[in-house]
Amino acid sequence: MLEPLMVEPLTADPEAPGQPPARPLTAIDRAITDYLQHMGVERGLAANTLSAYRRDLARYARHLARTGRQRPAEITRHDVTGFVQALSDGSDGGSALGIRSAARTVVAVRGLHKFWALEGVTPTDPASDVHPPMPGKRLPKAISVDEVTRILEAVGTDTATGLRDRALLEFLYSTGARISEAVGLDVDDISLHTAGEAGPAIVRLFGKGSKERLVPLGSFGARALDAYLVRGRPLLSAKGKGTPALFLNARGGRISRQSAWTILKTAAEKANITKDVSPHTLRHSFATHLLEGGADVRVVQELLGHASVTTTQVYTLVTADTLREIYAAAHPRALG
């Protein structure tokens, strides 16, 4: 039988173990210790997570002591929002935290107050409508069409692995596939045209939650893939045990995500691209270049396999910035 996890009582100055307390312990300190004991014993919180909660709530207790709060019932919403602000600017004497660390601390504080309210320690929950700080939307990192072209053309096609590398990178940019979708493909998932057929080839991709979607494959990607299937893959397949995987490694098995990442990094270095480029960069570039070319955002949503158009709309921010730059540089009365 496992022994219950023992939680060290919260001290007034836990960051200086063995030193005399900087202030007397309050009812808030003791109530926080009760909460930590509950989380450790009854909720089974992992030791590392519990330790993080303890540090976060110790800082909260010090903040409350500075404002003169002694008992949980005295804490107001203003005290909680003041602490959230202190996490960002360090006005409580602690280190200013980044958005993710501050959000984690606020989650701990919200959990504490919810527990107190449910247990009757406090009559209300002053943190119920105080939300963690949200990170700003990070714009997808896309590279230019010229940079994509340079990367693709940097791959030699005089070996079986070279043909594979060119086909893989052309495929990623042509379809906007996630790297996991690309390396998970089997030969039967693609449908390259025979002579006389019109329109782009079609590829079947399996996205998150095994959701299937059909995506067109442009002529450059189709030609690179056809060359690999005819002249490259048979040589690689002969070294393995007969896998249906589309993209093979040098031993004839399915290529890994890590290997695909290395292929792109190597091609980017050969093309003298100094930006940080990853397989996801090609996916971002695929979406950005489609929108810049006039594609409807809902079409791009379908091609990317996004469940919501809201996820895809972040790419429109990139193209809007491009439009602003062009307008500012070209319109005679844009600036003045």
Catalytic residues: 178, 208, 280, 283, 306, 315
Contact 113, 122 (CB under 8 A): yes
Rounded to whole angstroms, the Cα distance separating 135 from 230 reads 48
Cα–Cα distance between 198 and 146 in angstroms, integer? 27
Q: Which residues contact 231 (CB under 8 A, 6 or more apart)?
A: 160, 163
SS3 at position 295: coil
Cα separation, 134 vs 175, in Å, equals: 32
Rounded to 5°, angle at Cα 299 from 184 and 291: 100
Q: What single DSSP character describes residue 192? A: P
How many angstroms separate the CA atoms of 246 and 188, rounded?
Answer: 8
Give me the DSSP letters along 146-159: HHHHHHHHTS--SS
Q: Give every CB contact of residue 279 below 8 A, 6+ residues apart in sequence.
A: 172, 178, 179, 182, 257, 260, 261, 264
How far CA 119 is from CA of 5, 53, 109, 125, in Å, comes to 21, 19, 15, 11
Residue 107 contacts residue 56 (beta carbons within 8 Å): no
- Phi first, then psi: what are they for 319, rounded to 5°? -70, -30
DSSP state of 103: H
Beta bridge partners of 213: 205
Asked if residues 237 and 249 have their Cβ atoms less than 8 Å apart, the reply is no
